[in-house]
Amino acid sequence: MVNVWVNGTFDVLHLGHIKLLEFASSYGLVRVGVDSDIRVKSRKGENRPFNCLTDRIQFLKSIKFVDSVVSFSTNEELSLQIQNYNTDIIVVGDDYRGKEIIGSSSSTKIIYFTRIKNKSTSNILNYGKAKSM
């Protein structure tokens, strides 16, 4: 079986996440790497994550397109997780074209997923802020 890797914050799950995971599962067994709470906070700000790591992992484990979930706190841990999984394919959003993909040296193939317009955690959280004003 082909080992497929997807990683991200997965803070507020939405249709874009589900479609990404469904797409990834069409290639093989999907392991999701999830950013730790500390990593999310350092990258996205003090008000994030909205959901704690334990909850985010449980949400992801409940999705039928996901075979396993692990967390990581640093780029080095991420790279090591990808290597230890014997990753064949890394699936990333198409906004990463031309950018460095962590762990790509451990994988035989990078496949880009076309993001779904207006389906993002930032859009959801920003919409909630706008409604509460």
What one-letter code names the amino acid at 24? A
> 4-34, pLDDT tens digit by residue?
999 999 998 989 999 999 999 999 999 999 9
- Domains in the chain, start-ordered, CATH in brackets? 3-132 (3.40.50.620)
- Ranked by mean pLDDT, which of 60-69, 93-102, 107-116, 123-132 comes out on top? 60-69
What does the pLDDT read at residue 130? 45
H or E, element range at 28: none
Token look-up 């093989």 returns: 28
Helix residue spans in 13-133 (DSSP H) = 15-25, 37-44, 53-61, 75-84, 121-132
Which tens digits make up the pLDDT trace of 66-98?
999 999 999 999 999 999 999 999 999 998 999
